[in-house]
Amino acid sequence: MSIELVFLIIYFVAMGAIGVWSVKKGSGDSEGFLLGGRSLGPAVTALRLQSSSMSGYMFMGAGSLGNTQGYFGMWYAMGDIGGGVLNLSILGRRMRKLSQMLGSLTSIEYLEHRYPSKWTRAIAAPIAVFCIFFYVMSQFIGGGRGLEMVTGIPYEWALLIAVGVIVFYTFLGGYLAVAYTDFVQAIIMLIGMLWIFIATMMAVGGLTAGNEKVAEINPNLLSMFGPDGYQGDEWGIIIGAVLVFSIGYLGWPHVVVSHMAMKKPSVARSASMYATGFNLLFIPAPYIIGLMALLVVPGLTNPEMAIFEVADTVLPPFAVGIVMAAIMAAIMSTADALLLQSGTIASQDLYRRFFNRNMSEKQSVWVSRFTVLGLSIIGYVVAVNDPPAVAAIVIFSTTVLGAAFVPAYICAVWWKKANTPGALASMITGTVVAVGWEVLGLADLTTIDPMGSGIVSSTLAMIIVSLATQKSHPVPAHIREAVVETAKVGPIPARLAVTQNSGLAAQVPVSGAEAADRER
């Protein structure tokens, strides 16, 4: 047995052990399974949020962009570096408070409680599941390809192993398992990426020497305008590249749910510091490694394998095993969050909301678990047959999620006039424009990225329709009061603090003393 495989086995067993541990630690009710009992501190919140948003894209898509587009990929990196801080500062504390005041357990349920209508959930849930399915499939593909390369196991079996481990701990432990495995995985990702980066710099003689050698291949790769050099009409694409990983992921349900699971709203402030430090150390590296792969592994046929091939070339065998664990950590930390969010949407936002309002807590948890299992099987079948490029899937699915949900989530806590018709119009418009822009190839014709067009159109729809329907569809008084309250620093007033919404389960008041203790 190779040393690389030994490290991977140890890693997989450790992740499974966290899943088993979380079953014992977590509660068996919906709030425990779906939000970890709202008990997470700043470090776990930050690294869980960052690792679940980074995904295998950082080890495959980012490396591919660096390898083919040079420093143009840094536009995506710039968006990603600031994304965590924006997410926590814009949504963090306010969303944590509002979700508890409205009694929301899921990110989609939260939207319905803020924009009261069954149509809010009926529209938001399918959009989210559609995008999440494609996103999680990209993670499966990344995991399968990585294991195949390092272990020599055929792709279909490597894919099955990767999917099996992810499903095991997500199935068992719910959000708590996902949060703590993501925390551990984020640390492993950081160590692995920095190890490859340092070894790569040593192999090419340092960044300056490496850049000089790349310039001999194509000096345009050293600019941030791609291998063809500056094109005056490409700023629309560049703006979209920055938006997709900065503003865009304020609309990703599997990411923003991190805010709802924080122990208290003030956790957001500390979490943003952890997120910033992680991002600065981690994010630029894969793009640079992908570019330097032109020197380390020239003639690479599949750019998405750039970081894998570089690691295999510049690291000793024992280190390759550790780095492969880091790559699997990036993939698994996103896949588990996506799968859990899919299960959450299926059990809470679709089945319980529209088919069985009297479903017990235990039934709800099991519906979530079997949805995770079902989507994993479907994702495996699709991924094992002619899998598409990981970067393309990730950018498409995250673009649609951002275009559909960013205005709805931001306006929920920042604009008390945002109403139900505005939210519905925003979600539908953002989805249609983003998908249409991609399918019709309008980015090439207009030089405007689908994310840019989607965000602008969904934001305009939210503002115009909300203002036009204020008289016919006013925001309920209790929601306006709750939105105003989110701007205040301090505990949630006892009259507004609940643990679950009465529309789904028994409403449980929280005493003033307990509420104050939670929010300090």
| pLDDT tens digit sequence for 361-414 | 677 777 777 777 887 888 788 777 756 565 677 778 878 888 899 999 999 999
Alpha carbon separation from 333 to 18, 41, 57, 189, 414 (Å, rounded): 13, 18, 12, 10, 30
Q: What is the pLDDT of residue 211?
A: 93
Q: What is the pLDDT of residue 414?
A: 92
What is the rounded distance in angstroms from the CA atom of residue 1 to the CA atom of residue 512?
A: 59
Residue 56 tokens, joined: 């295998």
Residue 419 tokens, joined: 């109403």
Average pLDDT value for residue range 444-463:
87
Percent of the chain with pLDDT over 90: 21
Q: What is the pLDDT of residue 28?
A: 53
| pLDDT score of 418 more than 80 | yes
Q: What is the pLDDT of residue 451?
A: 80
Return the SS3 of 507.
Answer: coil
| pLDDT score of 1 more than 60 | no
CA atoms 340, 508, 118, 108: torsion sign: negative
Strand partners, 498: 509
Q: What is the pLDDT of residue 504?
A: 36
Q: Where do the domains of the chain lie?
A: 3-26+41-389
Q: Which residue has the higher pLDDT, 51 or 281?
A: 281
Give buried/exposed letters for 182-219 (b at 16+ CB in 10 A, else e). bbbbbebbbbbbebbbebbbebbeeeeebbeebeeeee
Determine the CATH number of domain 3-26+41-389: 1.20.1730.10
Q: In 3D, which of 176, 138, 210, 201 has the Cα closest to residue 388?
A: 138
DSSP state of 474: P
Average pLDDT value for residue range 465-474:
95
| pLDDT score of 31 more than 50 | yes
| pLDDT score of 517 more than 90 | no
Alpha carbon separation from 27 to 37, 217, 368 (Å, rounded): 7, 58, 15
- pLDDT classification of 124: cutoffs 50, 70, 90: very high
Q: What is the pLDDT of residue 252?
A: 73
Average pLDDT value for residue range 262-286:
85
pTM: 0.74
Q: Which residue has the higher pLDDT, 358 or 520?
A: 358
| pLDDT score of 116 more than 90 | yes
Alpha carbon separation from 203 to 230, 288, 417 (Å, rounded): 30, 13, 57
What is the rounded distance in angstroms from the CA atom of residue 54 to the CA atom of residue 333?
A: 8
Residue 437, judged by CB atoms within 10 A of its CB (0-12, 13-18, 19+), counts as: buried
| pLDDT score of 92 more than 50 | yes
Q: What is the pLDDT of residue 62?
A: 85
Per-residue pLDDT tens for 306-354?
A: 888 898 889 887 777 777 777 776 676 677 777 777 777 777 777 777 7
What is the rounded distance in angstroms from the CA atom of residue 323 to the CA atom of residue 346?
A: 35
Q: What is the pLDDT of residue 511?
A: 38
Neighbouring CB atoms inside 10 A of 153's CB total: 16
Per-residue pLDDT tens for 479-506?
A: 998 999 888 877 777 666 654 443 333 3
Q: What is the pLDDT of residue 515?
A: 41
Residue 344 belongs to what H/E stretch? helix 317-344
Average pLDDT value for residue range 129-157:
77
Residue 307 belongs to what H/E stretch? helix 306-314
Average pLDDT score, the chain: 78
Q: What is the pLDDT of residue 514?
A: 37
Q: What is the pLDDT of residue 2?
A: 66
Q: Which of 1-5, 71-75, 194-198 has the highest mean pLDDT?
A: 194-198
Q: Which of 84-98, 168-182, 271-285 is the least confident region?
A: 168-182
**CA within 13 Å, CB half, 378:** 15
What is the rounded distance in angstroms from the CA atom of residue 455 to the CA atom of residue 399?
A: 9
Q: Which of 55-59, 84-88, 118-122, 281-285 is the least confident region?
A: 55-59
Strand partners, 509: 498
| pLDDT score of 51 more than 60 | yes
Per-residue pLDDT tens for 153-176?
A: 787 888 888 778 777 766 665 566
Are the C-beta atoms of residues 424 and 119 closer than 8 Å to each other? yes
- pLDDT classification of 285: cutoffs 50, 70, 90: very high
Residue 466 tokens, joined: 């909300």
What is the rounded distance in angstroms from the CA atom of residue 78 to the CA atom of residue 503?
A: 42
Q: What is the pLDDT of residue 198?
A: 94
- pLDDT classification of 35: cutoffs 50, 70, 90: low
Residue 40 φ/ψ, nearest 5 degrees: -90, 140
CA atoms 338, 341, 347, 349: torsion sign: negative
Q: In which residue are the tokens 């977590």 written?
A: 26
